[in-house]
Amino acid sequence: MFADAPRAGLIRRLAAMLYDWLILAALWMAAMMLALLLVTLLNSIGVISLADYTDHADFIAQHKIWFQLYSVLWFFWFYLYFWYKGGQTLGMRAWRLLLVQQNGGAISFKQGLLRALTALLGLGNLWLWLRWGKGLALQDQLTDTQVIVLTKEQSKLLNLHKAAR
């Protein structure tokens, strides 16, 4: 079904990333809320003390390396979940992009994980400029995957199938 689909270019990928970053901003706010609730819970049961801190956010700020790691894990989960589950993040769906293996099949969990690590927070897409005309970003080449552009009909059919699950 996707054997003859064209590969996505840099501009289309960046547009999808922009959509995803808006969603990630909301997800990050939810992650922050959960972190603050966890600090509140741990303080109330006596596991930690906030006596040396001005408030809950100050506690998180003083332990920011852990929160940064926690945040990065949320971001990786977002991409890995959507890529592995259906080959599309919400931004990719809006721009009719689909992540598949080079042979057109669905990606494996291992490919999704390696792709998330090698994408370098989206900087791997700049590889498209270095290898102009190939249509493969750095993360595509390292994981034997590709991002293709779907026709409107393919996108409707694919998303209709996902909705029926």
Q: Which two tokens stand for residue 99?
A: 């992540």
What is residue 25's three-state secondary structure? helix
Where would I find the H helices in 45-137?
56-62, 64-86, 90-94, 109-118, 127-130
What pLDDT, on the 0 to 100 scale, is given for residue 133? 66
- Enumerate the β-bridge partners of residue 146: 100
What pLDDT, on the 0 to 100 scale, is given for residue 129? 79
Q: What is the pTM of this model?
A: 0.84
Find, among 45, 39, 33, 34, the residue nearest to 63 by Cα: 39
Give me the tens of pLDDT residue by residue for the chain, a chain 165 residues long. Answer: 676 789 999 899 999 999 999 999 999 999 999 999 999 999 999 999 999 999 888 999 999 999 999 999 999 999 999 999 999 999 999 999 999 999 999 999 999 999 999 888 778 888 877 776 678 898 999 999 999 999 999 888 887 666 655
Element (H, E) at 99: strand 97-101
Contact predicate 20/89, CB 8 Å:
yes
Contact predicate 1/154, CB 8 Å:
yes
What pLDDT, on the 0 to 100 scale, is given for residue 86? 93
What pLDDT, on the 0 to 100 scale, is given for residue 1? 65
Distance, in Å, from the CA atom of 157 to the CA atom of 161, rounded to the nearest integer, reads 6
Q: Which amino acid is at 132?
A: W
Q: Which two tokens stand for residue 39?
A: 């600090």
